[in-house]
């Protein structure tokens, strides 16, 4: 039932995007910016406004997101140095291991598997992950060619951060927004999940399995197997249990982030390695996520 109710619907949307991407030419960067700057902030604001989380919960989710990404960063760095990777391949390998598809793939899986309550938790992790992507992720990609000036440039331009803050203030303050404002925001937010999942398929349509398959396999194993194992240990440390524990555990098991390909291309890292790893880890995640969801949902 998990496969039919969660995995199959998610991969049907990804597959649709893949087929469309093979037939028509799209600009993935423009589409991704649309979700990051318009659709996802709308989803975040609406979910946290109608189902507000307390400030402590928001802080714990953010700190957990930072922790799991930094732990995987250390794992990738140590492994890469043991493998004697050069700076370009080390940076790319670390990107694919540390950053995961919390939004493009994580949100539909959480919605199908855990419903609206789970989604309210998941969107906070997504915004936290975007923040880390635009700091640590940019720093790693830029470091591949020695250019570190871009590392913190766009952090405070992320509307998702302000969406969380505004939703918290208005929700906790009991401010009732008129339908003329709330309904358009809800409509935009409703588009975030299907559009971002389609974008994942479109971006994968340009990927090929090539290059160093040893690194691809290792990065995929770290991302799909080691990450959830470490998450299972870290989550209780941050006080998570019940629904929050299960939602964040599943999100932590997502495949490598598509944004690692974008960053690798922008900063002249190994985009081929990143692209192949995203494709392979996404395909393999159909199996690993099915197993994990069977354990967490039943």
Report whether 161 contacts 135 (CB < 8 A).
no
CA atoms within 13 A on the CB side of 207: 27
How many percent of the chain have pLDDT more than 90? 61
pLDDT in tens, 14-67: 999 999 999 988 887 788 888 888 999 999 999 989 887 888 999 999 999 999
The answer, yes or no, to whether residue 293 has pLDDT greater than 60, is yes
Q: How far apart are CA 34 and CA 113, in angstroms?
A: 25
Highest mean pLDDT range out of 65-69, 85-89, 125-129, 145-149? 65-69
Model confidence at 210, in pLDDT bands (50, 70, 90)? confident
The pLDDT tens digits for 111-140 are 999 999 999 999 999 989 888 887 777 776
pLDDT at 155: 57
pLDDT band at 194 (very low <50, low <70, confident <90, very high): very high
């Amino acid at each position: 039932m998990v496969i039919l109710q969660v995995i199959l619907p998610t991969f049907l949307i990804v597959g649709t995007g893949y087929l469309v991407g093979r037939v028509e030419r799209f600009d993935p960067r423009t589409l991704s910016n649309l979700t990051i700057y318009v659709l996802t902030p709308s989803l975040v604001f609406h979910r946290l406004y109608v189902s507000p989380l307390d400030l402590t919960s928001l802080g714990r989710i953010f700190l957990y997101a930072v922790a799991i990404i930094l732990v995987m960063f250390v794992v990738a760095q140590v492994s890469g140095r043991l493998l004697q990777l050069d700076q370009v391949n080390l940076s790319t390998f670390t990107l694919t291991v540390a950053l995961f598809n919390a939004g493009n793939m994580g949100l539909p899986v959480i919605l199908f598997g855990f419903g609206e309550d789970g989604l309210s938790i998941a969107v906070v992790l997504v915004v936290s992950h975007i923040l880390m992507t635009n700091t640590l992720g940019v720093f790693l990609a830029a470091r591949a060619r020695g250019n570190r000036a871009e590392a913190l440039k766009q952090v405070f331009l992320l509307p998702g951060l302000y969406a969380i803050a505004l939703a918290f203030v208005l929700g906790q303050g009991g401010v009732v927004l008129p339908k003329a404002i709330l309904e358009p925001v809800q409509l935009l937010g409703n588009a975030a999940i299907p559009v971002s999942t389609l974008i994942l398929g479109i971006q994968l349509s340009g990927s090929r399995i090539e290059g160093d398959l040893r690194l691809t396999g290792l990065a995929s194993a770290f991302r799909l197997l080691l990450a959830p194992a470490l998450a299972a240990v870290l989550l209780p440390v941050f006080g998570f249990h019940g629904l929050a524990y299960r939602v964040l555990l599943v999100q932590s098991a997502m495949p490598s982030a598509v944004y690692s390909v974008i960053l690798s291309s922008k900063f002249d890292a190994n985009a081929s390695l990143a692209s192949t790893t995203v494709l392979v880890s996404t395909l393999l995640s159909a199996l690993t996520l099915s197993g994990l969801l069977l354990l967490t949902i039943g």
